[in-house]
Structure 1
Amino acid sequence: MTTTATTPASAVALRYGATALAAAAVNTALGLSAAALDDGGIGMGLTPAAYLPATVVGFVLGVLGWNVLAKRAPRALRVIVPVALALTWIPDVLLLSAGATAANVVGLMLMHLVVATAVVTVGLRRLRVTPGQGAV
């Protein structure tokens, strides 16, 4: 008889919360740095009121999407994660035509990368490798 260990929900919630908090902290550092370098730009998305809720919402939606894909098509994550990240960069690049500086745009792009990294970090722990399937 084989048994499988399950992770308590409180441990999972703590791990997710700590990862979201870490992403928010890194995005704060990025936001402050980009705002300091954004001389004469529009500063779009570089205030804590803009990027902190977006970080949390992006993290939650990313985790939900990851969990759905991990159950239905785990191998698709290899393609969907980078494609989704690239799609989030499109509005950032379009800000250049609205008067944003390169520092503003690069700062936002790095913030999106931080959220994607946080989602992948917690998501990889949820994936299980079963015999015969190989790593995902």
Structure 2
Amino acid sequence: MTTAATPTSAVALRVGLAALAALAVNTGIALLASLLDAGGLGIGLSPVAYLPATVAGVLVGTVGWTLIARRAPKALRVVVPSVLVLTWVPDLLLLTAGATAANVVGLMLMHLVVTSAVVTAMRPARD
């Protein structure tokens, strides 16, 4: 059984749709976290911060996925969750800067959304 390579246009469409979905979900998370962050710093919860970061995260994740999938596809099972946890470290450090738990949890959820979007867009389709 052979598998055909996915056409670049199909991958680009999936990544674009994943980015749009991530933007929409992250907007909802940011709005909710902002409501729960009353009087907090609100770090990363404004659209000017999270919208470009979401797109950049999807694009960087896509490039990373592509590079790893070509060389060591089984490594994705370890690399993806490891990178997600690493992205949470700066979020948690914001607690020392005075950010509220709502702010930090919101950012952590936003990273999870971006990761999920990339995995959904890049995971090979199963017959």
Is the TM-score greater than 0.5? yes
Partner in structure 1 of residue 23 of structure 2: 24
Amino acid at match of 1:77: L
Q: 1:44 to 1:11 in 2, by over 3 A?
A: same
Percent identical among aligned pairs is: 66
The CA deviation string for residues 26-49 of structure 1, in whole angstroms up to 9 with x for no partner, is 000000100011012100000000
Distance in 2 separating the partners of 1:5 and 1:72: 17
Unaligned runs of 5+ in 1: 129-136
2-structure distance, mates of 1:41, 1:98: 11
Alignment of 1:71 with 2:70, yes or no, is yes
Q: 1:102 to 1:13 in 2, by over 3 A?
A: same
* Corresponding position of 2:35: 36
Query: Match for residue 53 of structure 2?
Result: 54
SS of 1:40 mapped into structure 2 = coil
Aligned counterparts of 1:80 and 1:5: Cα–Cα separation in 2: 25
Paired position in structure 2 for 1:131: none
Check whether the contact 2:40–2:99 (CA below 8 A) recurs between aligned residues: yes
Q: Give the whole-Å Cα distance in 2 for the aligned partners of 1:107 and 1:117.
A: 15
CA shift at 1:60, angstroms? 0.4
SS at match of 1:125: coil
Calculate the aligned-residue CA RMSD, in Å. 1.8
CA contact (8 A) 2:15 2:122 kept: no
TM-superposed deviation, 1:5: 4.7
- Work out the CA distance in 2 between the residues paired with 1:30 and 1:3: 41
Structure number with greater CO (CA < 8 Å, separation at least 6) is: 2
The higher radius of gyration belongs to: 1
TM-score, normalising length: structure 1: 0.86
The alignment covers a number of residue pairs equal to 126
- What amino acid maps onto 2:42 in structure 1? G
